[in-house]
Structure 1
Amino acid sequence: MKNFSPFLFLLSITILIGCSSSENQVNNNTSEGTDSLETPENNVIPNEVINGDMRDISPKEFVLDMGSGWNLGNTLDTEDVDKTAWGNPFTTKAMIDAISEKGFKTLRLPVTWRFHTGAAPDYILESDWLDRVEDIANYALNNDMYVIINVHHDDEWIIPTYENAPAVKDRLTKTWTQIANRFKPYGDYVIFETLNEPRHEGSPEEWEGGTAEGRDVVNQYHQVSVDAIRATEGNNAIRKIMVSTYAAGTGENVLEDYQVPNNDENVIASIHSYSPYLFSLAGTDPTWGTDADKAELTEEFNTIQDKFENDSRAVVMGEWGSTFANNEADRLSHAEFYANICAERGICPIWWDNGNANEFGLFNRNTLEWVYPEIADAIVNATR
């Protein structure tokens, strides 16, 4: 979300808020580029990555190998044709090299497609935009990192209602067919994530698990997306695909109604949890670390484990973190506990970094320096 909304304070701490995107960055990031039309840097990718090394590895083993991850937030996912509009500079190979050098093994690459999509009925994706997404993916692949490519802030047209479903499913099918074909030659270090936090934006139930209709339609949207990817065949026939719950949440109704398309064995469950909310996202309760705090977070993870362990389903925590509130020691305690509880349950933890050190940013993308290196180390060390 772009701005904190007052009504969210009424939500339970288990509500999962996604994709914080600050339009008012305070770290003075500047760039003249749009992060979509610049000349790509020299990128030599190992043949086994591009030419299709698909390992015989179970989803749970796969997720364990993903280690810890980092989100390139507020960049390719901006709700603007200018990818520096939310304050982050043009993405360079040096940035991703630094993320890898810190020990992160997975790069989640949030992508908003609607500003680079042609008109109906074909919805052709701009070739330059696909090139740019591939360039950044290659920066990570060149470091032997996993890369997650998704459909992110496209909620404006991905509306989960029965009325909108036919048109949305048609466009999702065409969008994912093009993305999947572009990356089909790549090996299994490329992961697709069908939708980010699919939900009915602006509805009363947006962050409360939606309605029965909304959850049903979100399942349908995941279904057509997975079907489109699989239909391109080749490596995409068995590629790992992350599929989220409604709004990527962990509420009881959300978990109960979650469906895996075709019961596909290579689908990985995708969830987000900024928990506890007042500490992690709102920043109004800057303290964390009591026995009660730890027990509360442990209980949420027990619920997650009960759901997906019973289904023998691998899980990725695609977004989590804590916003800055002059509380570095508490944030470090939270990050260490959170990353370790993920690791204990075989869940890959991927920190949400929006590039703003006064919010979720751990890494200064201008200077290539870690603003909070201890937090980054705690996350990485949990999965080593």
Structure 2
Amino acid sequence: MKKLFVYFLGTITCLVSLFLGACSDEDDTGSPYLKISKEELTFGKHESEALLYIQSNVAYEVSSDAADWCSVVQQVSTSQKTAKYLVHVTENPDTEVRTAVITIKGAEVNGSVKVVQTANDYLLVAQHEYELPGEGGEFLVEMQTTGDCQVEIDADWIQRIETRAVETRTETFVADQNVTGEVRTATIVFTLDDLTESVTVTQNILSTPEPDKTGMEQDAPDLMRNIKIGWNLGNSLEAAGGETAWGNPATTLAMINKIREMGFNAVRIPCSWDQYLNDETTYEIKATWLARVKEVVDYCMQNDLYAILNIHWDGGWLENDIPNGYNEEVNNKQKTLWTQIATYFRDYDEHLLFAGCNEPNVEDEDDMATLLKYEQTFVDAVRATGGKNVYRNLIVQGPSTDIDKTMQYMNALPVDETPNRLSVEIHYYSSWQFCGMEKDESWGKAFYFWGEENKKYATGAYEGRWDNICGESYVQAQFQKLKERFTDKGIPVIIGEFAAVRRTLPDEQAQEGHDLSRAAFDECVVREANARGLVPFYWDRGDGVLDRKNLQVYDELEYNGLMNGIK
């Protein structure tokens, strides 16, 4: 305040100089006159002072009509012509601006100065509690305030969408749907200097609509026959640390447009949820993350693509815990997450499918029994959300998504109240020496070449690098087992992931053989899967067939192999 007063006093001094200059030629023997340095004085809400200068050639009196808070006291002046007065105001305790009038009155002259003091801070909301429907939407908070206050919201499912700095105003907020399955609360805090007002918002559970079969006419066998080849948006929405943390750009509509243009008619969207929770105890998913996932799903819908949305590895909270036996808290988390996901995406038609997990860690019958309970929870949670989800096609994973384990341990599927809406998912990376091994291990060598036509490249320094374990006949036999166990009985099977890692070899001829081998492998998987009614989804982690940054085909040879497989 001291600095402000010095500045103000300096300003007054400048005004006085101007004032005295204007009056210096005044003739004392002339007509009566009265000159005042200010017609109006304005003060802030706090206690303050200002100088007022008066010049006249007749006697006068100075008074204030609000002496209880605005006083006027004459000061010593070095000028014989100009009088100096100190105007003092106390702090304004009121919430309204107040005014006073200083009157200068002489026998033949009169004048006045208006004094204005701003109001003290005032902040009052009209209503402190709001109850919202589960469907969400806009709601208004009316308030009275003397300034533009700060707004803090302790939940991401409420957004402030309008702000106006006027004395009486309405703040507009919008609440997302409550997909959590439980009543939830949030607090909005308004702050103006040292004043605060808070509003508590309670949102009820979203109502469960009646079953709705509109746009959901196809059962699992019919729908899966429509998918010839799918593509995985790998290493993006499931990436630990955020969508771009593993080197891929953020997913765009243009990217999915390109996938459609390339000939894929379905997209699998591996998705993380655990790192996007508001609360690890309630498992409430952040509204911002649900909205982002929705954007990506919508990209697929705009291209008339089928889309599979899952809970991927997600830190392993379910998949890695299976060998520890059934865990009620894991089961509760599975139910809570899928209730939210299914509710949020409930109104999408049959182009959107849900998959319960990714690669559940199962080694024996006990593990399989645990997995089956978690898969049953997934199915029940989705169906319980009503609407189109009563008929949504769902995908459950075989043990470790391994074909042999699935044949051995998966002797039953979850019970589903809606018939013919379940599919089984396996992944195909056989042999691992060719598909995934980056370097030689103690138990075996990495294979660089695959297929009878590429066996010739495994000579010299590359002797023993040809896949002699899982060639074309092996692919056919494995897929035939799935056909007979599931597809022939009306249970579709999707190969949710398949691919072979790209290696860089120092020898040009060997590199050619390796590239041809990968293309041959992809073509074989797609061809043999389609021949048996299985649905293949190519795994692309960002270095597969699509250059996501430039939206160009990344590997023409491999891409042609995939497309040849569906001809």
Q: Under TM normalisation by the shorter chain, which class is it?
A: 0.7 to 0.9
- Return closer, same or farther for 1:211/1:118 CA change in 2, 3 Å cut-off: farther
Which among 406, 409, 413 is matched to residue 260 of structure 1?
413
> Which secondary structure state, in structure 2, belongs to the residue aligned with residue 222 of structure 1?
helix
Indicate the residue corresponding to 1:306 in structure 2.
484
Pairing 1:239–2:400 present: no
Structure 1 residues 136 and 156 mapped into 2: Cα distance closer, same or farther (>3 Å)?
Answer: same
Task: State the structure with bigger RCO (CA 8 A, min sep 6), 1 or 2.
Answer: 1
Shift of 1:64: 1.6
TM-score normalised by the chain length of structure 2: 0.54
Runs of 4+ in 1 over 6 A off after TM superposition: none
Shift of 1:254: 5.3
Deviation at 1:118, TM superposition (A): 2.8
Unaligned runs of 5+ residues in structure 1 are 1-50, 200-208
Letter in 1 for 2:314: D
Q: 1:315 aligns with which of 487, 490, 493?
A: 493
The 3 A distance-change label for structure 1 pair 355 and 141 is same
- Structure 2 match to 1:77: 238
The question of whether the paired residues in 1 share the 8 Å contact of 2:398 and 2:426 is answered with: yes
- Structure 2 match to 1:140: 300
CA contact (8 A) 1:110 1:152 kept: yes
1:66 correspondence with 2:227: yes
8 Å CA contact 2:399–2:405 kept in 1: the answer is no
Letter in 2 for 1:315: V
Structure 1 residue aligned with 2:430 = 275
Q: Which residue of 2 aligns with 1:41?
A: none
- Deviation of 1:161 after TM superposition, in Å, equals 4.6
Q: 1:362 aligns with which of 545, 552, 556?
A: 545
Output the CA distance in 1 between the equivalents of 2:448 and 2:223.
35
**Equivalences for 1:32-47 in 2 at 5 Å?**
none
Contact 2:402 2:426 in 1 (8 A): yes
Unmatched segments (≥5 aa) in structure 2: 1-211, 439-445, 454-467, 504-510
- What is the correspondence of 1:1-384 to structure 2 with a 5 Å cutoff? 53-80=214-241, 82-158=242-318, 159-161=321-323, 165-199=327-361, 209-252=362-405, 255-262=408-415, 264-282=419-437, 284-290=446-452, 293-309=471-487, 311-325=489-503, 326=511, 327-356=514-543, 361-383=544-566
Structure 2 Cα separation of the partners of residues 337 and 157 of structure 1: 35
Taking only aligned residues, the RMSD between alpha carbons, in angstroms, comes to 2.0
* TM superposition shift of 1:155: 4.5
Aligned twin of 1:7: none
- What is the SS of the residue equivalent to 1:229? helix
1:217/1:155 CA distance change after superposition, 3 Å? farther
- Residue 251 of structure 1 aligns to a residue whose secondary structure is helix
- In the alignment of these two chains, the number of paired residues is 320
In structure 2, what is the Cα distance between the partners aligned to 1:369 and 1:222?
Answer: 38
The secondary structure found in structure 2 opposite 1:108 is strand
Aligned sequence identity (%): 28
Q: State which drifts further: 368-377 or 240-249.
A: 368-377
Q: CA deviation at 1:172?
A: 0.6
SS of 2:353's equivalent? strand
Specify the alignment match of 2:506 in structure 1. Answer: none
Q: Please, which moves more after superposition, 325-334 or 314-323?
A: 325-334
Instruction: Pick the structure with more strand per residue.
Output: 2
Shift of 1:250: 1.0
Please identify the structure whose Cα radius of gyration is greater.
2
Contact 1:69 1:349 in 2 (8 A): yes
TM-score by length of 1: 0.79
Once residues 236 and 528 of structure 2 are traced to their aligned partners in structure 1, the CA distance between those partners, rounded to angstroms, is 29
Amino acid at match of 2:270: P
Instruction: List per-residue Cα deviations over 1:280-299 (Å, max 9, x = no partner).
Output: 11152111112872112212
1:106-145 alpha-carbon deviations (Å, 9 max, x no partner): 0100001111013254211001100110101111110100
SS in 2 for 1:70: strand
**Residues 245 and 255, structure 1, Cα contact 8 Å, conserved in 2:** no
What's the CA shift for 1:66?
Answer: 1.6
Distance change in 2, residues 1:258/1:129 (3 Å): farther
Please tell me whether the aligned partners of residues 76 and 112 of structure 1 are also in contact (alpha carbons under 8 angstroms).
Answer: yes
Counterpart CA distance in 1 for 2:243 and 2:403 is: 30
Distance 2:359 2:448 in 1: 26
Question: Residues of 2 paired with 1:287 and 1:161: CA distance?
Answer: 35
CA distance in 1, matches of 2:325, 2:522: 42
Counterpart amino acid of residue 480 in structure 2: N
> How far apart in 2 are the matches of 1:235 and 1:378?
37
- Aligned-partner Cα distance in 2 for 1:254–1:343: 20
